[in-house]
Amino acid sequence: MVDTRRLIILGLLVAIAGVLHAVEGWLPLPVPVPGVKLGLANIISLVAIVLYGWRDALAVAAVRVVLGTLLGGAFLGPSFALGISGALASTVAMAYACRRWRPALSLVGVSVLGAAVHNLAQISVAALLVSSATLLWYLPYLILFALPTGLATGFTAAFLLARLPAAGR
Amino acid sequence: MRLTKADKWLTGALLAAAAGGIALNMLLLSGVGAQEARVYKEGKLVQTIRLRPGYHEELRLGGQERYNLIVADNGRVRIAEADCPDQVCVRTGWVSLAPQQIVCLPYRVVIKVVSSEPPDVDDITK
């Protein structure tokens, strides 16, 4: 069954996530920890999960990373490995949390969890890439910064979803 | 939009875990006294550079292209120059105290600052 509206909106979500991710790369963050990011594309993953479920959300995340690294010339490089692992792991975690714990855990909590899992997946892959397990010691610092960014992206996604016209669903 | 109880618990738990991890990090790995920088390339130890006042050493990894220029000076070490695409390693800047490290993911280079006298558990417990 071809659902044109769904396809168009998913395509738009991929485009928005790609742009957010690119823009975020240009913003210098005044933190002493390299690797800390705002995770703006996380907003789109959350929206995709709520609107269309985990399958489509995973597709949006994967296509966003593949397109983004293809255009940036980093396809299949280390930053691709980092991007895809973080995007897929956090989307899976957030989709699971949405389905299992949602009334108790709000979208903001889901977002915080997603941000933490994103960092966990990325630092694990980075540790594998450089064959150095001590890189994992870095995780607490990343999680510390993931909390405020996860809260911020969670609130943004919640406000966005509250204001989307019902026709979008 | 309000945070639920579970949101706060989750955030609190993550905050506690992060704080605990950082504290453990400092306790277990932080070095006082003599420090050295261990330079790893593709998981193998390439060179150990001593970090002490007045000592200067430069080390170039890689060839004409795909290189990292590592500079140790006056008890600190940094990657002064590299032609990697993301420049994360260069922007990390100077590090001087264990457990700080510099990572260049594209070229799989890791520089770890470690205490030359490895801290043993007894030192911490006493």
Q: What is the pLDDT of residues B32-71, one digit of tens each?
A: 667 888 999 888 899 998 888 888 989 998 888 889 999 9
Smallest CA–CA distance, residue B80 to chain A, in Å, is: 16
Dihedral of alpha carbons A96, A101, A102, A107, sign:
negative
Q: Residue B107: helix, strand or coil by DSSP? A: coil
Dist. CA A136–CA A143, nearest whole Å? 11
Question: Is A65 or A168 the better-scoring residue by pLDDT?
Answer: A65
C-alpha span between B17 and A142 (Å, rounded): 11
- Confidence band (pLDDT; 50, 70, 90) for B126? very low
Please indicate whether, in this complex, the C-beta atoms of A126 and B105 are within 8 angstroms of each other: yes
Predicted confidence at residue A157, as pLDDT, reads: 94
Identify the burial level of A123 via C-beta atoms within 10 angstroms of its C-beta, where 0-12 means exposed, 13-18 middle and 19 or more buried: buried
Measured CA to CA in angstroms, residue A68 lies from A50, A83, A115, B87 at distances of 23, 10, 19, 19
Q: Is the pLDDT of residue B122 over 70?
A: no
Q: What is the pLDDT of residues A119-142, one digit of tens each?
A: 999 999 988 887 777 788 888 989
Task: Give CA–CA dist B25/B29, Å, rounded.
Answer: 6
Give residue for tokens 């019902």.
A166
B17 touches chain A (CB under 8 A): yes
Q: Does B105 touch chain A (CB under 8 A)?
A: yes
pLDDT at A2 over 60: yes
- Would you say A155 and B2 are in contact if contact means Cβ atoms under 8 Å apart? no
Strands B35-41 and B109-115, by their bridges, are antiparallel
Task: Report the run of H or E that residue B78 belongs to, with start and end.
Answer: strand B76-82
pLDDT tens across A20-29, in order?
Answer: 988 887 877 7
Q: Would you state the pLDDT for residue A117?
A: 95
Paired strand residues for B49: B37
Query: In which band, very low, low, confident or very high, does the pLDDT at A56 lie, cut at 50, 70 and 90?
Result: very high
| pLDDT given for residue B29 in this prediction | 66
The model's confidence at residue A166, banded by pLDDT at 50, 70 and 90, is low
Percent of residues, chain A, with pLDDT higher than 70 = 93
CATH of the structural domain A4-168, one choice from 2.60.120.10, 1.10.1760.20, 3.30.70.20, 3.40.50.150:
1.10.1760.20
Retrieve residue A117's tokens.
């899992």
- pLDDT at position A23: 87
pLDDT at A63 over 50: yes
- Domain B31-125 -> CATH class: mainly beta
The ipTM assigned to this model is 0.79
Question: What contacts A135, CB < 8 A, 6 or more positions away?
Answer: A123, A126, A127, B101, B103, B110
Judged by CB atoms closer than 8 Å, whether chains meet at B7 and A109 is answered as: yes
Please tell me which residue of chain A has the smallest CA distance to B89: A34
Side chain identity, residue B12: G
Residue B64 at interface with chain A, using a CB cutoff of 8 Å? no
Give the pLDDT band of residue B117 (cuts 50, 70, 90). Answer: low
Separation CA A21–CA A41 (nearest Å)? 6
Measured from the Cβ of residue B5, the count of other Cβ atoms closer than 10 Å reads 11
In angstroms, the CA B126 to CA B105 distance is 38
Instruction: State whether residue B7 sits within 8 Å of chain A by CB.
Output: yes
What does the pLDDT look like over B4-26, one tens digit per residue? 889 899 999 999 999 998 888 77
**Residues A61-89, mean pLDDT to the nearest whole number:** 87
